[in-house]
Structure 1
Amino acid sequence: MSLTHAINAARSGLQTTSLRADITAMNVANASTPGYVRRSVVMAETLVGGTTAGSHIGGITRSADSALTNQRMSLSSDLAQASVMSSTWQALSSRLGDSTDGVGLFSLLSDFESALSTAATTPESPANASAVIDAAKAIAREFNDLSRYVQNQRAEADLEIANGVQTVNDAINKVHALNVKLGSVDRTSSEAAALMDERQRAIDSIAEYLPVEAVDRPNGAVDLVTREGVYLIVGTPRQIEFTPSNAFGPNQTLAGGHLSGISVDGVDLTPGSATYSAVSSGLLSALFTLRDTDLPKVSNQLDTVANDLVTRLSDDSIDPTKTPGEFGLFVDPNPAAGAGIAGRIRVNALVDPTQGGELSRLRDGLEAATPGPTGNNAILSALYDAVTATNAINSNGLQGMFSVADLAANLSSQTGQMRVSKETILTSTSAQHSIMLDAELSKTGVDIDEQMQQLLLIEQAYSANARVIEVANLMLQRLMEI
């Protein structure tokens, strides 16, 4: 080999090792950057006339694994769904309370029972009668607040759906724009690797809302398709359509046409719909399930408990002064409205002094013209017996023989069971996601120890090439001296 060849070979070696050092340093610097995929320099032998003439850069590759990434994205969708469901049911369970923590609907109904028992024992006491009315008003307020809370949760879910659809559409457009950029750059360059990382981060943000897979195209672009087979990008982007709502009463439903689903170019993606294309996981699936299934069920169950209380205490046998068929201690001011009695229930104005009623009517009868004997506890005892009696209930998932307080306890128990179930699913899904994430990182992430070893080897190669040039320079100087 001539000195010229030796110098050229060493010079090319210095250039390639310099780039290798830059890429390795970049890997180390981005070891903790989310979505960063490890880079590697592809080195190739340079041949001139069949003779080795050094080395050159064949390109920069990303250590990506599309199969692992797609599996991890699928689990990301499942994890996002499980997280929302768990947190929502935890909030619902906490809001409803239970039979042991001393707060919530069960506790208020128990206090109401105790107040009725005390008033029946001492019917002459205005203070005890007032305690019954106060307890009844607290129950009505709690039903109203719980109903409003559930409807607010539905409204919040609808708003989150709207925000999520906007996020997904923005990410779809971003992926398409990056596809276009990648079509105009060398896909073996460092710039292309950075664009691919950015594109994957955008796809990951979509996967949180609905499960998607990336389909590679020959020009370096990717198409996006949902798990169910609906393309979100097929050459050009396709937008998800959704119309947010402003009303979320018990009668506002998706089936009734009051609420919006989601679709792409007329294809229905709405979770829970009876179509092949219905989204089955992700944040959107969780939010639709809450808005259209879980929260309405809780609302209906609250209605069942409220209606049972109203019906029990409106029994004509309790109060002989009451017009048959009229409401008793609790009333529904708008029964024609149908669903939503928990949000409308009130204490009968006839016994509420703050509404112009007479406290004595609690003892003497709702339509008593004049106060009766102060020692008469017949109506108070009948009210207590009606509240504590075990009646058969079979409505909206509440089934069995219950007193009023027991029925509320059963509702709280079911809510608590759902919370535990969702937490269990979250724990399992989180563990699976962590395992898959670790598997993906082992293939695509940066091992700092390995990269530091690479730097030592690169340093040795750089020193060797520099030494070749140094020796060649000395030889040229000697020849010049001859």
Structure 2
Amino acid sequence: MALSVALNTARSSLQATQSQISVVARNTAGASDPTYSRKIASLVAQGGAARVTVARASDIALYTKMLSSTSDAATQKALLLGLEKLNATVGDTDLGESPAARIGALMTSLEHYAKSPDSDVMAKAFLSSASNLVTTLNQATSQVQAIRQAADVSISNSVSRINDLLTKFDSVNREVMRGHAIGADVTDSLDNRDGLIAQLSEEIGVTVVHREGGDIALYTDSGVPLFERTARPVTFDPTTVYGPNTTGNAVFIDGIQVTGAGAPMPLNSGNLVGQTTLRDDVTVDYQSQLDDLARGLIEAFAESDQSASGLPDAPGVFTYAGATGVPTLPATVGLAALLKINSVVDPAQGGSYDVIRDGGINGGAYRYNPAASGDTAFSDRLYGLKDAMETDRPFNAAFGFGATSTLGGFSTASASWLQGVRQKATSDVSYQNTLLAQASEALSNATDVNMDQETAHMLQLEQSYAASAKLISVIDQMMKTLLNMVG
């Protein structure tokens, strides 16, 4: 009986060692997989025999920190990518194509024209500078709206990915719960589930709540349920065409608005937040600045009544589609897109350069040159326009540039604002990426496979296996000897 007990013990030890070797082999195979966590085989006594249970290395605190860092980094990355596009097209004053640079070029050409008011060459150069400025503001508006449109598409893609990940999460979560109920090894499923949550955190801030039976509930970082027993639907209605007056639609989770004005529980982080901020805040603010610059430009070049008839000021060199007068604060949304050169001053459209110099774009009551005709040396109006460009005028104080500024000062402040927002986003991305790298490294150190340790463990298990096998061999010989003696 003693030999039988010893044999059973040795066989149990051999089987347990085989199971442990299998776990080490799994660890070795998964060492290069960033989503794989180290598996730990533990011996548990059961009915006089040893049984192996498999757990995995984990650290909830570090994992939670990694998730939040991932979401924060994704927020800033999405915002920065959009700002880089905006800056590359309309924000660099050194390229000579930004609004600020165009304002400077217009001032220079106006000065030259004022010094030679009888020169059609100078008049043409001035009109060319004015046209370039109009084109820049028109195109800047188009670029802003294109960036908003691209952000809207990214929001739609993000929502689709979130729903796809939640569907996959539901399936894996059920695997974990079923395995947990029967005591099966669910460590690989746990890895898969954690990997899905990590991917989800790229799109949206996630809070993880562990429940009985291996179940998990997911909430947004603002507390809206994403997954409770089942996945909650995330919905978004894309907008196909964007204009300055377009308001993008909000994202909803199970009917609860989580982005945009009026959201009771707005999201705080993730790619979704970055794209929404870009679409609804940064680009809208910049569009408003472009519109106010266009308003100031029309105002500066407007004509006033010279006949003492009390006529209202009227758009001059610069006007806008559907003009009904000189626009006032606050600027009409999308005014920069409507800005154009008055056809009356453009010979290519049947107009004349003379009305730039003499006035009268809006009729005889607005003529500045007192001579009926022929005084081509008249420059007072041109110098008056130059003074108007250099004079402080009201701008929207909500931008933070002050309540008054010159055209050049406002356009420079706007460009500086854009550069400042971009630089802050760059700094935030660098900071958040550093935090993410640190959190990921700490989690990796706590849960990843250490090949040196696994190799050493394998050697120990091989020795244990050899010892158990040798013991079985000895018992076998002893039993044969005993049977021979009895026989």
2:44 partner amino acid: A
What does residue 369 of structure 2 align with?
Answer: none
> Matched residue of 1:219: which SS?
helix
Question: What are the within-5 Å matches in structure 2 for residues 13-32 of structure 1?
Answer: 13-32=13-32
Question: Does residue 454 in structure 1 map to residue 457 in structure 2?
Answer: yes
Distance of 2:396 and 2:70 partners within structure 1: 39
1:256 match: none
Counterpart Cα distance in 2 of 1:334 and 1:468? 100
User: SS state of the match for residue 179, structure 2?
Assistant: coil
Equivalent residue, structure 1, for 2:268 = 280
Letter in 1 for 2:159: V
Among 45, 51, 54, the alignment partner of 1:56 is 51
Aligned to 1:267: 256
SS in 2 for 1:399: coil
Paired residues of 1:387 and 1:403 also in contact (CA < 8 A): yes
Tell me which residue corresponds to 1:362.
356
Paired with 1:419 and 1:121, the residues of 2 have a C-alpha distance of 40
Query: Match of 2:45, SS?
Result: strand
1:289 to 2:292 alignment: no
Q: Residue 272 of structure 1 contacts residue 289 of structure 1 at CA under 8 Å; is this kept in 2?
A: no
SS across alignment from 2:402? strand
CA displacement at 1:194 relative to structure 2: 1.8
Q: Secondary structure at the match of 1:42?
A: strand
Counterparts of 1:453 and 1:317 in 2: how far apart (Å)?
95
Q: Give the match for residue 442 of structure 1.
A: 445
Cα distance between partner residues in 1 of 2:94 and 2:306:
31
Counterpart AA for 1:174: K
**Aligned-pair distance for 1:100?**
4.6
Residues 332 and 341, structure 1, Cα contact 8 Å, conserved in 2? yes
Once the two structures are TM-superposed, the CA of residue 141 in structure 1 deviates from its matched residue by: 0.8
Q: Tell me: CA distance 1:42–1:335, structure 2 relative to 1, closer, same or farther (3 Å).
A: farther
Q: What does residue 313 of structure 1 align with?
A: 301
Residue pairs, 1:123-134, within 5 angstroms: 123-134=117-128
Spell out, residue by residue over 1:322-351, the C-alpha distance to the aligned partner (whole angstroms, 9 max, x if none).
x85321111111347931111111111112
Stretch deviating more after TM superposition (145-154 or 360-369): 360-369
In the TM superposition, residue 200 of structure 1 has moved relative to its aligned partner by 1.6
- Of residues 52, 63, 73, the one that matches 2:67 is 73
Match of residue 331, structure 1, among 313, 319, 324? 319
AA of the residue aligned to 1:437: S
The CA distance in 2 between the partners of 1:396 and 1:340, in whole Å, is 17
Structure-2 change in CA distance of 1:293 and 1:185 (3 Å): same
Give the RMSD, CA atoms, in angstroms: 2.8
Q: What is the match of residue 216 of structure 1?
A: 210
Hey, what does 1:379 align to over in structure 2?
Answer: 381
Q: Work out the CA distance in 2 between the residues paired with 1:459 and 1:357.
A: 97
Q: Does the 8 Å CA contact 2:180/2:214 hold for their aligned counterparts?
A: no
Kindly provide the CA deviation profile for residues 172-206 of structure 1, in whole angstroms up to 9, marking residues without a partner as x: 1221122223333356544x222222222222222
**Change over 3 Å in CA distance of 1:110–1:346 after alignment to 2:** same
Question: Within 1, Cα distance between the matches of 2:215 and 2:275?
Answer: 31
Structure 2 equivalent of residue 203 of structure 1 = 197
Q: Decide whether the 8 Å contact of 1:137 with 1:347 is kept in 2.
A: yes
In the alignment, structure 1 segments of 5+ residues that lack a partner are: 49-53, 254-258
Deviation of 1:452 (Å): 1.9
- 2:471 corresponds in structure 1 to 468
1:248 corresponds to which of 219, 242, 251: 242
Shift of 1:239: 0.6
Q: How many Å apart are 1:134 and its aligned residue?
A: 1.1
Aligned residue in 1 for 2:431:
428
Query: Residue 214 of structure 2: SS of its match in structure 1?
Result: coil
Q: Is the 8 A contact 2:392 2:406 kept in 1?
A: yes
Pick aligned residue for 2:226 from 218, 229, 232: 232
Alignment gaps of 5+ in structure 2: 325-330, 365-371
The corresponding residue for 2:159 is 165
Distance (Å, rounded) in 1 between the aligned partners of 2:348 and 2:34: 61
Report SS of the residue matched to 1:214. Answer: strand
Query: Could you say which residue in structure 1 is the equivalent of 2:328?
Result: none
Q: Distance in 2 between matches of 1:132 and 1:252?
A: 34
Residue by residue over 1:391-422, the C-alpha shift from the partner in whole angstroms, topping out at 9 and shown as x without a partner, is: 34344413254322221111011111112222
Which amino acid in the other structure matches residue 330 of structure 1?
F
Q: CA deviation at 1:313?
A: 0.4
Structure 1 residues 124, 455: CA separation in 2 closer, same or farther (over 3 Å shift)?
Answer: same
When the two structures are superposed, what TM-score results if normalisation uses the length of structure 1? 0.89
SS at match of 1:44: strand
Q: CA offsets, 1:421-450, max 9 Å, x none?
A: 222222222222222222222222222222
Q: In structure 2, how many angstroms separate the alpha carbons of the residues matched to 1:60 and 1:167?
A: 32
Offset from partner CA, 1:252-279 (integer Å, 9 cap, x none)? 23xxxxx42222333222255352x221
8 Å Cα contact 2:14-2:469 kept in structure 1? yes
The AA in structure 1 aligned to 2:393 is N
Q: Are residues 456 and 83 of structure 1, via their aligned partners in 2, closer, same or farther at CA, if it must alter by over 3 Å?
A: same
Structure 1 pair 453/273, CA: closer, same or farther in 2 (3 Å)? farther
1:147-178 deviations in whole A, cap 9, x for unaligned? 11111111222221121111111211221122
Q: TM-score, length-normalised on structure 2?
A: 0.88
For 1:4, give the aligned amino acid.
S
- Is the aligned partner of 1:121 residue 2:124? no
Assess if the C-alpha contact under 8 Å between 1:318 and 1:383 holds in 2.
Answer: no
Give the 3-state SS of the residue equivalent to 1:184 in structure 2.
helix
